[in-house]
Amino acid sequence: MLRDTLLAIHIAGGSIALLALVPAVVASRGNGVKVSRNHRRAGLVYVGGMTAALASAYPLAVLLPSVFLGAVALFTTYLVASGWRWIRRGAADRVPLGRGLAVGMLIAAAAMVTVGVGQLRDGDGLGVALLVFAGIGGTLAVQDLLALRAARPERRERVALHLGRMLGGAIATLTAVLVVNVTTEPEWLGWVAPSAVITPLILWRTTQVLRVKRPA
């Protein structure tokens, strides 16, 4: 009963988040630095849905049990928390929190590499997904640590970091859904399809934002 309830919350939260993602991106007007009220509203719905999905993912990972679900939850939690923090922080007041998130992601990435390699040795193809998540998460964590060396990154830089991490959370969620629930041919297609679709959008919007030169 508990597992079914948690699963329902997990699916509902993830579905709400993904449905809110499109209007959130569309509502970011112009160069993306100016944020509309509709973007904020859709963004809050996205974060709320992801929070529900992630909060239910951890106990589900224990009850099922599923190391893969737990690893994806850790990875996605970092992305959403980092994305939220970059757009909400006003100055250098939350640098310790940002560093804590980044270091935590590096530790989680190391654990995912260990588990992923073990799964591949046992013939479990999900190990590939864990290694991919570890590589992306570790890279973004290092990027965060480097960005945090600046006392106050410019607004456009914070928006770019926010954008990449929030959309990265969507990639992780869609990848997990496809890998677990959909049989693809070839098998690796489910691992790369969300990245292939969303990554160009991230690069396009990030380029637009970083071209804007104005005070933070």
CA angle centred on 128, ends 124 and 133, rounded to 5°: 130
| Mean pLDDT confidence for 195-209 | 82
Has residue 214 got a pLDDT over 70?
no
What was the pLDDT predicted at 124?
80
Query: Is residue 98 included in any domain, yes or no?
Result: yes
Residue closest to 66 by CA, chosen among 56, 58, 74: 58
Q: Are 160 and 97 a contacting pair, CB within 8 Å?
A: no
User: For residue 7, what are the domain limits?
Assistant: 2-210
Alpha-carbon distance of 23 to 27, in angstroms, equals 6
Global pTM value = 0.83
79 close to 169: Cβ distance less than 8 angstroms:
yes
Question: Which of 3-7, 97-101, 173-177 holds the top average pLDDT?
Answer: 3-7
CB 120 within 8 Å of CB 129:
no
Band of residue 216 on the pLDDT scale cut at 50, 70, 90: very low
What element of type H or E holds 63?
helix 37-63
| Residue 216 located in a structural domain | no
Mean pLDDT of 8-26: 89
Higher pLDDT, 83 or 126: 83
Average pLDDT estimate for 194-200: 83
Q: Where are the alpha helices (DSSP H) in 122-188?
A: 126-147, 155-181
Q: Give CA–CA dist 216/208, Å, rounded.
A: 16
Average pLDDT over residues 100-110: 92
What mean pLDDT is predicted for residues 57-81?
89
Burial 69-95 (b: 16+ CB within 10 A, else e): bbbbbbbbbbbbbbbbbbbebeeeebe
Indicate the helix (H) or strand (E) that contains 73. Answer: helix 67-88
Query: Is the predicted pLDDT of residue 121 greater than 80, yes or no?
Result: yes
Reading the block at residue 116, the tokens are 């992923």
Q: How many domains does the chain have?
A: 1
How many degrees, rounded to 5, is the angle at CA 99 between CA 96 and CA 105? Answer: 140
Residue 142 in any domain: the answer is yes
Answer whether 148's CB lies under 8 Å from 86's CB: no
Instruction: Judge whether 21 lies within some domain.
Output: yes
Residue 215, domain member (yes or no): no
pLDDT in tens, 28-50: 655 555 667 888 899 999 999 99
Query: Does position 99 have pLDDT exceeding 90, yes or no?
Result: no
As a whole number, mean pLDDT of residues 164-178 equals 85
Q: Is residue 99 part of a domain?
A: yes
pLDDT of residue 132: 81
For 161, residues 6+ apart whose C-beta sits below 8 A from its C-beta are 82, 83, 86, 143, 144, 147, 153
